[in-house]
Amino acid sequence: MKKIKVGIIGATGYAGVELVRLIATHPQAELAALSSVSYEGKKISEVYPNLKNICDYELENEDIVNKCDIIFTSLPHGLSEKFAKKCVEAGVKMIDLGADFRLDSADEYTRWYGKQYEEKALHDSAVYCIPELHRNNYKGQPIIGNPGCYPTSIALGLAPAMLDSLTVDNSIVIDSKSGVTGAGRGLADNTHYPNCNEAFAPYKVAAHRHTPEIEQTLSKLSGTKINVTFVPHLLPLNRGIVSTIYFNVKRKTIAQELHALYEQFYAKEKFVRVLKLGEVANLRNVKYSNYCDISVHYDDHTDRAVIVSTIDNMVKGAAGQAIQNMNLMFGLDEDCGLNFIPPAF
């Protein structure tokens, strides 16, 4: 099989360079072109020395669409539509790791991101896809909106309960913690080393931009409008997400029944590992991998379920899931190029 020619726009951001790292070892894909406005003319290995003699591509600041079979855009919101238009016109597939193709509602996008859909027809040609939940929604669309990192950990953590109508409406409370790479490579006060080191605090309390994406996904799973309380926290770590999810149950249940529901739902999913009862998901066990570990707990005292879902925000929460979606697009096994074993420490 001829290798898939891959282009990455925004290749020097954290998600972009993670795509470079993963595509460099993909057996059915190869890098064709890398684009960066900030580092045009430099080799990517000059920006990220870990890539020396592995990937020494010169970074371009020009149209790379016609050099590729697929384009990954890893850009701030509001910048991907113009590339999507070029891709569709050229017959090139595209996966957007930004926010521009995640929300169905243009009004919600404007409310949360302060911008408008300029090419509304493009959004009819796109599909939002967490492969474990939405692969059957992919019908050859040229654009995939790659989900956000928090929404991925949360949707995977809640999907079995939502589809089983187990949750009490609007009782869902989500407490998520992320490493600082989730904030991107741009300089910010809260990710400045003296401020985030040996510190731990919530941010954007009940006002995070991933909230509408989370609610949109959960509402579609449940068939009814779902509102959640979502509070993210910044961990003094480079990578990883732990989402602890609490919800009241509609019917009396026990831990074993809840655990069996999750085990059955994910029985055929390679990248979702439901832990044994009594075990607790730990981000250490998923770092640098495309796995999502889920532990299932039940509080008999309050009749409340507690689900812990953990992923690597740069892999399953970004570049790894994007490659899983690329594999889906091109008819490859979804785990192709993603068989990374998490390190033990």
CA–CA dist 312, 82 (Å, integer): 29
Residues assigned a catalytic role: 149
Using an 8 Å Cβ cutoff, are 78 and 115 in contact?
Answer: yes
Provide the 10 A C-beta neighbour count for residue 222: 19
Using an 8 Å Cβ cutoff, are 218 and 211 in contact?
Answer: no
**Residue 90: is it exposed, middle or buried by C-beta count within 10 angstroms (0-12/13-18/19+)?**
middle
Pairing of strands 173-178, 229-234: parallel
18 vs 44, 66, 251, CA distance in Å?
A: 12, 23, 43
- φ/ψ of 180, rounded to 5, equals -70, -15
Q: Where are the alpha helices (DSSP H) in the chain?
A: 14-23, 44-47, 81-90, 106-113, 120-123, 131-134, 149-163, 193-196, 211-222, 255-265, 320-329
Q: At what angle do helices 320-329 and 14-23 cross, to 10 degrees?
A: 50
Using an 8 Å Cβ cutoff, are 324 and 271 in contact?
Answer: yes
Q: At what angle do helices 211-222 and 149-163 cross, to 10 degrees?
A: 20
